[in-house]
Structure 1
């Protein structure tokens, strides 16, 4: 999307939902109107977004329509994302699962167990398309909400192997997206939850590559035909390269700098012996990369990533590149955070899981938009702001912060927006995140509305 299509709520809503097939054009127009209201203030409640009782009732009727399904609402967004993917020579498809915790909604019907079984809610599987160099978010390539179904009591291993399992969602998402076109390479990037032999096999069967963090100590075969186990084989490899590495801050841990060692080797993963669906499949050739640190600070667990990839490589640079691709997996965690915090999906006052899933079909593209606003703030930072920002918006912001519109760069524009949202812009601070950018953007919209009213009233 162009900058103005992302920033303008009505243009964004029309581009995202204008082609939605809901069996009645009136429903499509209502979806566009509702999405535009949501885009103005994503975290607000449905009545606050609708602004009138008439529009609020229309939204609730829309969420009750059987023909308004999650897939129907998301289909145009998926198609647009895949068209953007086809224009790039390489795309990372970052996949992950998150839970929507609705335990506090005791009267909501249709929910299932989450976590260890004490909570209630649903799960959401997301495949986010990401540009590998800039890490810009192209959109959702596919997404699937699902309710956990408990395993039958007394189920045997043979019965479990024959029935559909919850982990099948990983390779089903790959199949829904389909094979890579001849002009583009697609790489599924995932954390340890995707270390599933069937997932890896399906990726290769439709010409999609993968970079997945290993968690299973699988049986492997070396190039010489020696049998062994994955972790022992990989950890026996000597270091081939060393690089400094900055670990970002995370919950309970401060940011720190360390040194990472790198090794890699080529192996074949053997199929699981005890799974009748998979044990007749051929071995899967992979390139295994290990990065680790030695002498971690006291109280910190030493970092170690063992990555499985189908992309053949022979140099240190190629190995480090795969490591960087794996680091892009945090983009999908950002996305889920946007959905929960920026769009408040877990706080929505609807009475059934079915309604919430339909509502998710409207909020999911909106969460992508929040991330794309952040991406806009980091593209061509030295370019003049007037080349990409609407003149009226630029003029109002410049007047508010005491600058000349002609002197503002893209970086200056978005930094001032973020300041309005609480960003301090200290020397050691990194670039602003989506939260402060979005808060600042809403503040600027209020200033624009005030300017329009003042002009209308000739104040």
Structure 2
């Protein structure tokens, strides 16, 4: 992804110029609002806007009935589709996240996101995203995103299994796959990665029908249609296979777990999922056919005393022939973590759960715009890791990188060692991202590694404030 900054100095203009709200006035206002809010994504509208008149214009924009979530995010999705061109393969990750607005009692039309045992309910919205990555992990953008207020289910237990998949909330996984298949360039191979919640029979059928490689963490120990062993389940079938090798995985520390290196056994098998296990008959099951998939199990056989063993069991439509192809499936699954970072950026970097819109429709539209900002911050972080030597003008305007250079060298300028004149040659992506992160608290010591998301977005806020002053002084 290069040349994202237009001559007018706005990546927002490049990304969102195709937005259409069926009214020229709204289209123009959207560009102004998006540009202002993109500079301070973590601040509320009244603080991110240049003045009170601009803030009122933003509030009126989100209140307009012609403005909705889909129209706001659509131009970004189209640009993501264009960015997949030229890639031999893209990895597409799907996941959902809960947006908690329980503390905002004045916000109308929110849905239920959790119910405690005493009957108390938390209110909020559900966001489901489909994020495209290059094969090396650079976030190319969103291929689909949906948001809704969850309603209470009328059908429960066995009755819920009779509900058609198209009427269930879980249908969003199939919709995400269809969007990716329709939007990714035809010459580009798709590998889709999902967590346990996407272990849905119809999703595997859809992936096979459309030629999409699918990797999902196993949730259901399904019954198999096995010619040699009868009605075994998946874990029983894996237990009959020989260990094909070992792999070492570094496990990071957490609140209850210390950092360590785990050695995992690798075991895999081709299996046939039974479409109607043990003669189960429902309208949903009757439409299925048996499907062949591969299952690979990564299991720690000897964890340290007091530690739970690490187990990853993945089910895939991609053929697994040997240890090397099994490890490739693991590597695809590891890339799923990027969408967790995306949601973290949206909630922490963009501070989305602090928004106090007074109804869910306006809130959804605002989240749509912030989703694009969250992707941009995520992209900037990963760009540093993938193309550090590239010119920073792929991500910063001339005024932005010159302001950044002045802030980085302010002490030398004050002492007289340097003149307050930025160089003609812009710094690299590596230099610029580290300088931004340093404004947000990153120290940049030898053993500090690469800057993280939080220090980058904090530094971005500092930079944007300084850019405003620089642009006034250089008028």
TM-score (norm 1): 0.90
- Which moved further from structure 2: 248-257 or 426-435? 248-257
CA-CA distance at 1:306 after TM superposition: 0.8
Tell me: CA distance 1:448–1:350, structure 2 relative to 1, closer, same or farther (3 Å).
Answer: closer
Q: Greater shift after overlay, 13-22 or 168-177?
A: 168-177
Does 2:122 align with 1:119? Answer: yes
Which residue number corresponds to residue 139 of structure 1? 141
Residues 1:242 and 2:246 aligned together: yes
Q: 2:328 aligns with which of 321, 324, 329?
A: 321
Q: 1:253 to 1:37 in 2, by over 3 A?
A: farther
Identify the range of structure 1 (42-51 vs 389-398) with the bigger mean alpha-carbon deviation: 389-398
Give the C-alpha shift of residue 154 in structure 1: 7.1
Distance 1:339 1:223, change over 3 A: farther
- Alignment partners' CA distance in 2, 1:400 and 1:235: 64
Q: 1:213 to 1:386 in 2, by over 3 A?
A: closer
Q: Deviations over 1:86-129 (max 9, x none)?
A: 32111111000111111111121111111336211111111110
Q: Which residue of 2 aligns with 1:99?
A: 98
Whole-angstrom CA distance in 2 between matches of 1:409 and 1:190: 34
Deviation larger for 89-98 or 172-181? 172-181
Residues 3/444 of structure 1: CA separation in 2 closer, same or farther (3 Å cut) = farther
Distance 1:231 1:350 in 2: 48
| Structure-1 residue corresponding to 2:379 | 372
The equivalent position to 2:173 in structure 1, one of 170, 173, 178, is 170
3-state secondary structure, aligned to 2:319: coil
1:155 CA drift (Å): 7.6
* Structure 2 unmatched runs, 5+: 413-417
Q: Which deviations, in whole Å up to 9, do the C-alpha atoms of 1:8-58 show, x marking residues without a partner? A: 996122122211110011111111111111111100111111232222221
Contact 1:292/1:302 (CA < 8 Å) preserved in 2? yes
Q: Please name the residue that 1:215 is paired with.
A: 219
Give aligned pairs, total. Answer: 454
Does structure 1 conserve the Cα–Cα contact (< 8 Å) formed by 2:41 and 2:350? yes
Distance in 2 (alpha carbons) for counterparts of 1:196 and 1:234: 20
Inter-partner Cα distance in structure 2 for 1:12 and 1:450: 20
Inter-CA distance 92–238: structure 2 relative to 1 (3 Å threshold):
same
Residues 1:165 and 1:9: Cα distance change in structure 2 (over 3 Å): farther
CA distance in structure 1 between the partners assigned to 2:394 and 2:337 by the alignment: 31
Q: 2:365, 2:246 → 1: CA distance?
A: 49
SS in structure 2 of the partner of residue 220 of structure 1: coil
* Residue 449 of structure 2, aligned match among 430, 441, 444: 430
Give the CA deviation at 1:303: 0.8
The 3 A distance-change label for structure 1 pair 225 and 87 is: farther
Aligned counterpart, 1:354:
361
Q: Which residue of 2 aligns with 1:66?
A: 65
Answer whether contact 1:161 1:275 (CA < 8 A) is retained.
Answer: no
**Alpha-carbon distance between aligned partners in 1 of 2:155 and 2:426, rounded to the nearest angstrom:** 69
C-alpha RMSD of matched pairs (Å)? 2.7
Task: Pick closer, same or farther for the CA change 1:331–1:250 going to 2, 3 Å.
Answer: farther
How much has 1:441 moved relative to structure 2?
A: 3.0
User: Cα–Cα, structure 1 residues 453 and 68, in superposed 2: closer, same or farther, change >3 Å?
Assistant: closer
Checking the alignment, whether the CA contact within 8 Å between 2:214 and 2:318 is kept in structure 1 is: yes
